[in-house]
Amino acid sequence: MEKAKVYFTKNITPTSLVKIYECLGIDVNGRVGVKISTGELGGHNYLKPELIKDLVQKVNGTIIECNTAYNGNRNTTEAHLKNIKEHGFDKIANVDIMDATGEIEIPVNGKHLDVDIVGKNIDNYDYIINLAHFKGHAMGGFGGVIKNQSIGIASSNGKAYIHSAGKTKIPTEMWNMLPKQNDFLESMAEAAKAVSDYMHGKILYIDVMNNLSVDCDCDSSPEDPCMKDIGILASTDPVALDQACIDLIWQSKDVGRDHFIARVERQNGRHILPYAEEIGLGTRDYELINID
């Protein structure tokens, strides 16, 4: 397989975010959904509206999200919309909670999942820009575009199905039916592949490596960042992109890298990458192209 192109800039600004999108050479058109994490109230590491505004408005995008499967400020549509308002995302674009009025099942040819349950409003979009904040994660080890496309686009019931590796679709049952760690990681990869297939590959991928905490934006009290900001990376290949981000962490001389790596390794987080490659989501073989 040909090496995937992964573009990189160390500059984390609204202008550089637009620039790296343009480097992908694909002018998205029609109805564009920009998938972000709107961040749990109390958290502060999520991608801020002022950073993403220019890109979202350039593509005339709608910010898309789905409700969570845990108790918090985003587990119901009403609470989620309030959270979005408090974080200011409604001021820069229209926002669509894709599972607010229902969900659909899309096919998965997987080892763990037979369907992926996503917000039904996915059908409202011709293109998706998967705009992820790269960070650590308590369950997955790390979260980038693969997580943003799997857990992030799944409905509440779909999140339960992925987290349980196909054992339950009921969020209240999920925590008592957690699977082996690798089964969970593989389920995330399978769900991400299902979304890619369903969208016929009309997805662009961006990872922003700032506020590098070991905790996810779904945490209302995340640990402060342990590393300095690294930059923004973009690709049409999600596996190559997340792999490049992991490699930049491993290659870093930052004093906080060992702490970040320990979180990834505790959850065997890197396992998702070879499995995602194995099932055809993308390749781990890439060329890093510095656009600065």
Tens of pLDDT, residue by residue over 245-266, are 999 999 999 999 999 999 999 9
Q: Is the pLDDT of residue 288 over 80?
A: yes
CATH 3.40.50: does it fit domain 4-290? yes
Percent of the chain past pLDDT 70, that is, above it, reads 98
Secondary structure, 3-state, the chain: CCCEEEEEECCCCHHHHHHHHHHCCCCCCCCEEEECCCCCCCCCCCCCHHHHHHHHHHCCCEEEECCCCCCCCCCCHHHHHHHHHHHCHHHCCCEEECCCCCEEEEECCCCCCCEEEEEHHHHHCCEEEEEEECEEECCCEEECHHHHHHCCCECHHHHHHHHCCCCCCCHHHHCCCCCCHHHHHHHHHHHHHHHHHHCCCCEEEEEEECCECCCCCCCCCCCCCCECCCEEEEECCHHHHHHHHHHHHHHCCCCCHHHHHHHHHHCCHHHHHHHHHHCCCCCCCEEEEECC
Query: Does pTM surpass 0.85?
Result: yes
What's the pLDDT band for 26 if we cut at 50, 70, 90? Answer: very high
Q: What is the mean pLDDT of residues 4-14?
A: 98
| Average pLDDT of the residues in 134-141 | 95
